[in-house]
């Protein structure tokens, strides 16, 4: 059960990485357009550097998306998870959740 909880948390953290990529792309484009406005003579060089930078950022986004799909595929169906929660006493669920959080904090 802890394994599946770790996968679910990892998928949620991948969303943070994708959000960071979106912010980075916006900042790259903003800075590039500002640089082109200041120095129109070197606009072609700035645009080339911007496109290369955006390609690297976008590749990270695509890898993150692929990884999230792979991890989501490893999770059990929601129906099975709900059945486990129904069968397991609440006290045992709380203790296993606390144990999981202690291992996360230690590492």
Asked if 19 and 32 sit in the same domain, the reply is: yes
pTM equals 0.67
Same domain, 52 and 104: no
CATH number of the domain within which 42 lies = 1.20.20.10
Whether residue 77 is predicted with pLDDT greater than 70 in this model: the reply is yes
- 7 and 51 assigned to the same domain: yes
Token pair for 104: 């996360």
Highest mean pLDDT among 1-15, 45-59, 74-88: 45-59
- Has residue 51 got a pLDDT over 80? yes
With bands split at pLDDT 50, 70 and 90, how would you rate the model's confidence at 52?
very high
| Other residues' Cβ atoms within 10 Å of the Cβ of residue 47 | 14
Q: From its phi and psi, is residue 88 left (phi > 0), alpha (psi between -120 and 50) or beta?
A: beta
Please check whether residues 54 and 36 belong to one and the same domain.
yes
54 with 19, same domain? Answer: yes
Look at the block and give the residue holding tokens 């903003």. 30
Asked if 68 and 93 sit in the same domain, the reply is: no
| Residues spanned by the domain of 71 | 2-75
Residue 24 has pLDDT above 90, yes or no: yes
DSSP state of 76: P
């Amino acid at each position: 059960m802890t394994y599946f909880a770790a996968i679910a948390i990892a998928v949620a953290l991948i969303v943070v990485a994708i959000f960071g990529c979106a912010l980075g792309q916006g900042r790259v484009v903003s800075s590039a357009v500002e640089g082109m406005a200041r120095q129109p003579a070197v606009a072609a060089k700035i645009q080339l550097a911007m496109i290369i930078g955006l390609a690297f950022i976008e590749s990270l986004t695509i890898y993150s998306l692929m990884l999230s799909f792979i991890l989501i595929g490893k999770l059990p169906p929601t129906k099975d998870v709900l059945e486990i929660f129904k069968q397991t006493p609440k006290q045992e669920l709380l203790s296993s959740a606390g144990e999981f959080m202690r291992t996360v904090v230690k590492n």
